[in-house]
Structure 1
């Protein structure tokens, strides 16, 4: 243990190579009174959450932020910083170091910016667990390549908790908040978009979303100009056109877009495009040649 801490524990990522988001290390400590770090700079992001006691954090802008129980302060790469434990009530904190192309957008999404590098939380027990889970990711698996993935998952949950605790300061999207039925139509569109290859039952979909089929279909048509069944056919045919440009057989294309019967698929495709799947394939290949 460092003589500057009454307790100190940490874990380190042995394979910090994920370009979008990598947790480098995580730990927790109780510094001695007056313990100071900086002025200094890091080439990574460093997040601290204070679980007890007090101290000060000087951010890259030069502003001094008094921090106490429940406060989280964030050091940005390349920004000069300094932080110091109080001489009478020194803080105890947990930290996590990270880097990656996705980090700036993730931090901004939960309200953390260079201009606002300190946020507050009342849910310390949840945060403590997430920090501990992140740190233990680097100590429990015999497969380092999996440790990094696990740590990234816990970190995302940590950021989610920051965002939830900081939600009163988050900006509201410029567009109006969608109504319940608008949200359900969005769900129905996503349902069809991702499940088109399944035997989609419109009645079941409507029931799962909490609406009678007729009511959902009316609202769906107002939004899209099509019934759910028509929209499903459109999605399937668009995907079939894409697949027919490749090397799957007609049977395989039919199955891939939700048709158990290749002959029925061919009939529907002719209605859609004015030609059979085979004719469409030949035409597109000729265009490509």
Structure 2
């Protein structure tokens, strides 16, 4: 037991990886009244969420009392200090992380250096996620899997913080792109990933809540192509790549969404000015 805490639990990542996002350690504690950390700096990111009680957080020119539901974030290289209240000391959970993508992920959920304090409505859900991160580190024979599990729970934690920001910040529209933009992005991803399926543009429009003509209009404004033209481009680009490999013409056709090889060949010739066989020969 940590003598400065009534309760103190922590789990350390046995094999943190230097990559886009990794958890270093995660814990939970109930410090004694007046317990203080800092002033100091860290070389990693550290997120704290107050579960009960209150305390005081200071970073740079920011100085604020934090209560249940508040989250404060310490950035690498930032001078900070925080202290438990003398009469109602806080109970908090924390997670330390590092990685090349952390700053971008933080920005996407509304966490920036100029605003290191957040508010969250669902304290119980956040508490659960912190606990799952900490319990990921079982000190088993599979440290890489523990690291992977902890990173997954961390992303869910960041999602919860992002949802709280989107609901509470006046400028939340900056965090959430325009609905139409999101739907067009979804349509692009759908066509780019499901090109091998028999795709109906009418069904795609209906799924997104648009008339086909309107979908085609906003899609073309974004991409320069109609959905049908975009799907054809994706299929033909993929076919050209596959023709540079060992697959037969029939296999290439079915791989890009054509059950009829002759029908595929007609589309391919119209697209690039030669048949699939002639295109393959030209590559050799």
Cα distance in structure 1, aligned partners of 2:159 and 2:61: 28
Superposition TM-score, scaled by structure 1 size: 0.86
Root-mean-square deviation (CA, aligned residues, Å) is 2.7
Superposition TM-score, scaled by structure 2 size: 0.87
Note the alpha carbon deviations across 1:204-255, whole angstroms, 9 max, x for none: 4344334565665576567666654443223211221233234443233222
Partner of 2:12: 12
| 212-221 or 249-258, larger mean C-alpha shift | 212-221
Q: How many residues of Structure 1 are paired with residues of Structure 2 in the alignment? A: 282
Deviation at 1:63, TM superposition (A): 3.3
Determine if contact 2:10/2:26 at 8 Å carries over to the other structure.
yes
Deviation at 1:203, TM superposition (A): 4.1
Determine if contact 1:236/1:257 at 8 Å carries over to the other structure.
yes
The equivalences for 1:1-289 within 5 A come to: 1-59=1-59, 61-139=60-138, 143-167=142-166, 168-170=169-171, 172-173=173-174, 177-179=178-180, 184-211=183-210, 216=215, 228-285=227-284
Q: Which runs of structure 1 show a deviation greater than 6 angstroms over 4 or more consecutive aligned residues? A: none
Structure 2, gaps ≥5 residues long: none
Note the alpha carbon deviations across 1:33-82, whole angstroms, 9 max, x for none: 111112222221111111111211221x2532222222111111222221
Cα distance in structure 2, aligned partners of 1:113 and 1:221: 35
Cα 1:102–1:252 shift into 2, 3 Å: same
Structure 1, gaps ≥5 residues long: none
Question: What's the secondary structure of 1:146's corresponding residue?
Answer: helix
Cα 1:96–1:34 shift into 2, 3 Å: same
